[in-house]
Structure 1
């Protein structure tokens, strides 16, 4: 499980004296704990790895947005710190599908569902997320689905 990998990484970072990794892993664990608390109040928790991947993807997205803002503001040292956190977080994410694999998955789903136009985008996106959610950046996939259905 991804949680076990994260705990092992924190122990390894502490033993190695790697402050950057230890701090980033601490942030990951805090975000996961917050998500666990939300899941407790909202009903039955989903697949644990899926929940953790969702949290990690959200963290990466937030940091990429921060990097862009820091670079626009001329704060390169803060952007570099965010980049270092992104590298640590991405260690725990499953391998992401590239554009060709994503396009192939979209075409397969489109054929299975008989999707022909933009009115079917919601169905295609839902099925894509159900099958390949952890391996996809859904914001990028959205653009590819629009192009495939246009």
Structure 2
């Protein structure tokens, strides 16, 4: 089932359950999908494009929640986190930190990287292989850690 149909199904369920936080998050996903379709004048988005949209929306919500927390605004941070949780259900299963480390070590061995000068090369491959399965910030931290040793 395409992401758009899945979102619509979830929206109907959220409306019936009167879950306003979930409904708001799902409407944001639907809006982002429609916007991407009209920008590219495509009938259907590829799975890769859908994944990037969902990742972007989750990242926006988490960043907003973090900013609100820094400003001691729990009342605004909690809804953002709830929305991020609802939206992230459309992402594939996330890898654990240990699994990411193993993949990064594999990539470093494959690319022959030996130091921070090769970080761009490693990050390029890692970002492609781990797309949707891990957060870019986490990948970056692990790559830096492994290359600096």
Quickly name the TM-score band, shorter chain normalised: 0.7 to 0.9
How big is the shift at 1:68? 1.9
Deviations 1:52-111, CA, capped at 9 Å, x for gaps:
221122122221221122223232211111121111111111111111000100111111
In 2: Cα distance, 1:6 partner to 1:21 partner: 11
Structure 1 stretches of 4+ with a deviation exceeding 4 A read none
RMSD of the alignment, in Å? Answer: 2.1
Counterpart position of 1:32: 33
Counterpart position of 1:112: 110
In 2: Cα distance, 1:134 partner to 1:70 partner: 25
In 1: Cα distance, 2:33 partner to 2:125 partner: 25
In 1: Cα distance, 2:115 partner to 2:7 partner: 42
Q: Does 1:22 pair with 2:23?
A: yes
Runs (5+) with no aligned partner, structure 1: none
In 2: Cα distance, 1:55 partner to 1:145 partner: 24
Partner of 1:26: helix, strand, or coil?
A: helix
In 2: Cα distance, 1:132 partner to 1:115 partner: 18
Q: Does 1:50 pair with 2:51?
A: no
Runs (5+) with no aligned partner, structure 2: none
Q: TM-score scaled by structure 1?
A: 0.86
More helix by share: 1
Q: Does 1:139 pair with 2:132?
A: no
Partner of 1:94: helix, strand, or coil?
A: coil
Deviations 1:37-61, CA, capped at 9 Å, x for gaps:
34x17xx99x722212211221222
Counterpart position of 1:66: 64
How big is the shift at 1:138? 0.8
Deviations 1:11-58, CA, capped at 9 Å, x for gaps:
2212333222112100111122223334x17xx99x722212211221
